[in-house]
Each structure stands twice: as structure tokens, then as C-alpha cells.
């Protein structure tokens, strides 16, 4: 890559001179690269304009999840959740990102009990007392993406399942606390994994978080099975999701061959997931949506 002069426009398209923008950043990145750390490509470093657009998108995503939370109840079908997500997202000027994404047929993922993720809303699936469900919402606003998910407990959930939901939330929040510039994604992963295992649970290996912003899924893949001090270096301007799937039993999963999407636990024990979209800042992190 050609070296920019200090007075040239920065590569991040901020329109600021390079010397006042990412010159110091690049020096820091170079130090890590020379030590053979995996460093983020420039293409995933967001500028202030892009971040502002993503915050607007994220506001819709949060409002949609709030709206679902106010209305979700036993007796409702997951198709009705899908309709709520579609209506609320579009009323606010957004587009549900899952709709038609690589052929996904609905506006939201609804994953109940032993479904790990990518459950497809259906008029034949009715929420019943005791269900735990993940509602995973993603929004596009003016081409900028946001993504977060929450668990909902339907009526009287067993203490065992409620604990799974609570610990899964603790896991994602402990991971979040590890987000800081010049740390590693492995710091996040290990915090998540250690807490899950300390509670007797396992963490899904094959599916994880992702960079996000200009596209739904950008590099890096955010794993929860790598170790502290390994994985990509976190740098200011990076945005990614932390969305570990925590299984009550074994970490093994399989994919529904009929729809090609829905992932289940192998042992049919329940799984829980919360998802946070986070920005790495100069001093730590900013939660963009949760």
C-alpha cells in the first residue's frame, strides 16, 4: 500500500488530512502486524459519518426489539412476531436485513428452546408457556446495517431454563467488557467461554459474531472458542457483534435439512443467545445496539 502524505485525504474517507486522521492509527497497526498479530483491514474501519448512519440504523433495531418485548406472549405465532418486526422496521424507514438475505424468507429469526439460531417464523409455530425464545433483529437504513438479539421468557419458565437465559446474558456482557482498542478478539472469546463452562454450559463453535456496517456480515468472524491474546486485534472504528450461543448440554449442533437454515442442538437440550453490536472506541467501547 502506498504511503499517504500527511496532507493527503485520509483513506477512511473522512475528508480530513491523513496526518490528523489515521496516521497514528497506521503506526500502531504496523507494530502489531510486525509482531505477527492479525490486524483489521482498512475496509472495516468506519469513519464518523458511517458510524452516525449505523447509530441511526441501530436505533430502529432497538425500537423493534422493544416493541416485540412489549407484545410477545404465549399463544402468539412466530409469524406474528415476523409481522411486528416487518411493520415496525418499515414504519421507521428501515428494511429488515434478513428478508431475502441469501434466500432467507422472513424478516427476523425466531429460535425457540433447542433451536440454536436462524429459526424461521411460521404460522404453525405457536409460543407456549415455558418457552424460551431468541428474537434476532437486523435493520438496514440507507444501506447501513445493525444487528442485535434478545431472549424472551414466555410465561412460567423452569428455573433451569431461566438460569440458562441469565447466564447467556452474563456471558455476552462479560465479553463486552473485554472490548478495548489494541486488545484481541480472543479476550472476548475467553471471557464468554470461561463463564459458560464455569456454569456447566457449552458454547457453539461453528456459528459466531461478525463485523458489520456497510454489509450484514463483514470480516472478522467472532469466535468464542479462541484464547485470550489471540485472534484479530481490536482497533478504534471497528464494529462487530458479540452473539455467543450457549448450550445447556453439548456444543454439538446440526442444521435442518428441510429449510437449510435452522440450527438445533444435537442433544435437543435448550440453547440461549443474546447479541450486542459494539463499536471499538479510542478508550474502550460503545454499545450500538442490544
Give the residues lining the site for ligand MF3 (CB under 6 A). 98, 101, 104, 109, 118, 136, 138, 147, 210
Residues 80, 83, 84, 86: what is their CA dihedral angle, to the nearest 10 degrees? 160
In angstroms, give the least distance from the CB of 154 to ligand MF3.
21
| Residue of 57, 89, 241, 265 interacting with Co ion (CB under 5 A) | 241
Query: Closer CB to ligand MF3, residue 26 or residue 147?
Result: 147
| Contact of residue 109 among ligand MF3, Co ion, none (CB under 5-8 Å per partner type) | ligand MF3
Q: How far apart are the first and last CA of the chain?
A: 36
In angstroms, give the least distance from the CB of 67 to ligand MF3.
17
Q: Is 61 a residue that touches Co ion (CB under 5 A)? A: no
In angstroms, give the least distance from the CB of 135 to ligand MF3.
10
| Contact of residue 46 among ligand MF3, Co ion, none (CB under 5-8 Å per partner type) | none
Taking the C-alpha atoms of residue 115 and residue 78, their distance in angstroms, rounded to an integer, is 13
Give which of 162, 208, 153, 164 is closest to 186, Cα–Cα: 208
| Contact of residue 101 among Co ion, ligand MF3, none (CB under 5-8 Å per partner type) | ligand MF3
Based on its alpha-carbon atoms, the radius of gyration of the chain, rounded to whole angstroms, reads 19
Strand ranges (DSSP E) for 104-244?
109-112, 115-117, 132-141, 144-153, 202-203, 209-211, 218-222, 239-242
In angstroms, give the least distance from the CB of 272 to Co ion.
15
Q: Is 139 a residue that touches Co ion (CB under 5 A)? A: no
Taking the C-alpha atoms of residue 64 and residue 87, their distance in angstroms, rounded to an integer, is 9
| Contact of residue 50 among ligand MF3, Co ion, none (CB under 5-8 Å per partner type) | none
Q: Is 147 a residue that touches Co ion (CB under 5 A)? A: yes
| Contact of residue 132 among ligand MF3, Co ion, none (CB under 5-8 Å per partner type) | none
Q: Is 218 a residue that touches Co ion (CB under 5 A)? A: no
Taking the C-alpha atoms of residue 196 and residue 169, their distance in angstroms, rounded to an integer, is 10
Give bridge partners of residue 287 from the DSSP assignment. Answer: 278
Helix (H) or strand (E) holding 32: helix 23-34
Site residues for Co ion per CB under 5 A: 147, 241
Amino acid at each position: 500500500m502506498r504511503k499517504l502524505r500527511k496532507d493527503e485525504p485520509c483513506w477512511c474517507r473522512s475528508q480530513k488530512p491523513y496526518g490528523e486522521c489515521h496516521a497514528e492509527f497506521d503506526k500502531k497497526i504496523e507494530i502489531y502486524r510486525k509482531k505477527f498479530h492479525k490486524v483489521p483491514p482498512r475496509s472495516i474501519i468506519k469513519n464518523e459519518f458511517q458510524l452516525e448512519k449505523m447509530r441511526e440504523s441501530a436505533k430502529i433495531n432497538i425500537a423493534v426489539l422493544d416493541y416485540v418485548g412489549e407484545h410477545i406472549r404465549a399463544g402468539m405465532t412466530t409469524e406474528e412476531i415476523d409481522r411486528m418486526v416487518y411493520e415496525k422496521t418499515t414504519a421507521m424507514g428501515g428494511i429488515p436485513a434478513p428478508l431475502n438475505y441469501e434466500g432467507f424468507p422472513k424478516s427476523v429469526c425466531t429460535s425457540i428452546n433447542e433451536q440454536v439460531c436462524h429459526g424461521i417464523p411460521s404460522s404453525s409455530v405457536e409460543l407456549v408457556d415455558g418457552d424460551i425464545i431468541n428474537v434476532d433483529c437486523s435493520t438496514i437504513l440507507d444501506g447501513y446495517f445493525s444487528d442485535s438479539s434478545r431472549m424472551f421468557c414466555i410465561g412460567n419458565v423452569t428455573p433451569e431454563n431461566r438460569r440458562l437465559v441469565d447466564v447467556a446474558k452474563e456471558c455476552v456482557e462479560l465479553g463486552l467488557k473485554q472490548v478495548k482498542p489494541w486488545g484481541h478478539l480472543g479476550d472476548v472469546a475467553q471471557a464468554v467461554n470461561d463463564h459458560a463452562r464455569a456454569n456447566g454450559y457449552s458454547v457453539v463453535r461453528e456459528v459466531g459474531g461478525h463485523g458489520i456496517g456497510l454489509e450484514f456480515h463483514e470480516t472478522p468472524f467472532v469466535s468464542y472458542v479462541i484464547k485470550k491474546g489471540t485472534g484479530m486485534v481490536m482497533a478504534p472504528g471497528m464494529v462487530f457483534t458479540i452473539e455467543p450461543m450457549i448450550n445447556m448440554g453439548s456444543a454439538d449442533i446440526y442444521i435442518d435439512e428441510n429449510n437449510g437454515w435452522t440450527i438445533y442442538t444435537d442433544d435437543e437440550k435448550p440453547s440461549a443467545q443474546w447479541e450486542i453490536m459494539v463499536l471499538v472506541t479510542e478508550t474502550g467501547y460503545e454499545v450500538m445496539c442490544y
